[in-house]
Amino acid sequence: MSSARVKAEIYEQWQLRQDARRLLALESGWLRDWVSQLHGQHLLYAGIDRSPRFIHKGRLQHAFQVAFDWQQNSDCSSRFAEDAWPLPDNSLDVAVLQHTLDLSSRPHQIIREAARTVVPGGYIILTGFNPYSLWGLARLVRTFSTQLPWVANPVSEVRLKDWLTLLDFRIEHAAPIAHVWPLPVGGEKLLRRIDRVLAGNRWLPANAYIIVARKTVAGMTTIRPRRWLGKESFGLQPVATRVSNANREVI
């Protein structure tokens, strides 16, 4: 049974809209800033960006993209069930989930799988819609809408932090983003500039947030599988060049 929150065709239609493209442009900068600071071996990206170029900026040896049920027309050759990732425990250094929870009817299962596959000391980086915002209010007005982003299934920042804490993650960074998106006020350049200026302003309710969490399991030493079952067994396509080994520490 599919666990997708939205139909694939609705997702594809939204991808072509200007508000979706602006959201991707806004978030790619923040995600690039964080990914570029991290070291390690394997990075997984799952989200709404067809071509997440920011994962090229990381200093990880292997970065790859996966697709879920709501991305049936994706060019990505690697497809995962949201509640059963075909990866060993402790096999990823970084998992980037860009609005993945918003488009699933089982967001908690996705977090559990990400937590299982990330190594101690590794990172989960997430973006999500804020249900307690102007966007959330507009979503209530459009209760019967079948279109994105109104049909999304947002998880609040507070709730998500609780989930991550229970899964032995420490919140390294949390900030509001996209204060104006997707409201059509003025031109696109003006809207992007306003969102950039307001980034991190907690006095105003933002329509989305970014969370960076690090896995901290006391007394555990990371033991990687002798043979990582990623790209060889599941057709994962590398999208980042190899670099020398380095510690996974934030600069």
Spell out the SS3 assignment of the chain: CCCECCCHHHHHHHHCCHHHHHHHHHHHHHHHHHHCCCEEEEEEEEECCCCCHHHHHCEEEEEEECECHHHCCCCCCCECECCECCCCCCCEEEEEEECCHHHECCHHHHHHHHHHHEEEEEEEEEEEECCCCHHHHHHHHCCCCCCCCCCCCCCCHHHHHHHHHHCCEEEEEEEEECCCCCCCCCCHHHHHHHHHHHCCCCCCCCCEEEEEEEECCCCCCCCCCCCCCCHHHHCCCCCCCCCCCCCCCCC
pLDDT recorded at residue 5: 61
Domain that holds residue 189: 17-39+100-226
pLDDT recorded at residue 224: 53
pLDDT recorded at residue 7: 78
Residue 113 lies in a domain: yes
pLDDT recorded at residue 202: 72
pLDDT recorded at residue 204: 77
pLDDT recorded at residue 250: 39
Tell me, what CATH number does 29's domain have? 3.40.50.150
15-30 pLDDT, tens digit each: 888 889 889 988 998 8
Cα–Cα distance measured from residue 99 to residue 19, given in angstroms and rounded to the nearest whole number? 14
Number of domains in the chain: 1
Pick the closest to residue 42 from 58, 30, 57 (CA basis).
Answer: 58
Residue 1 lies in a domain: no
Cα–Cα distance measured from residue 56 to residue 58, given in angstroms and rounded to the nearest whole number? 6
pLDDT recorded at residue 240: 40
- pTM score, two decimals? 0.83
Residue 12 lies in a domain: no
Residue 64 lies in a domain: no
Residue 49 lies in a domain: no
Residue 158 lies in a domain: yes
Low-confidence residues of the chain: pLDDT under 70: 1-5, 73-75, 77, 200, 218-251
**127 to 17, 28, 137, 209, 239: CA distances (angstroms):** 19, 10, 19, 6, 21
pLDDT recorded at residue 74: 66
Cα–Cα distance measured from residue 91 to residue 122, given in angstroms and rounded to the nearest whole number? 10
Residue 62 lies in a domain: no
Strand partners, 104: 4
Contact indicator for 46, 98 with CB cutoff of 8 Å: yes
Residue 245 lies in a domain: no
Residue 167, Cβ neighbours under 10 Å: how many?
A: 17
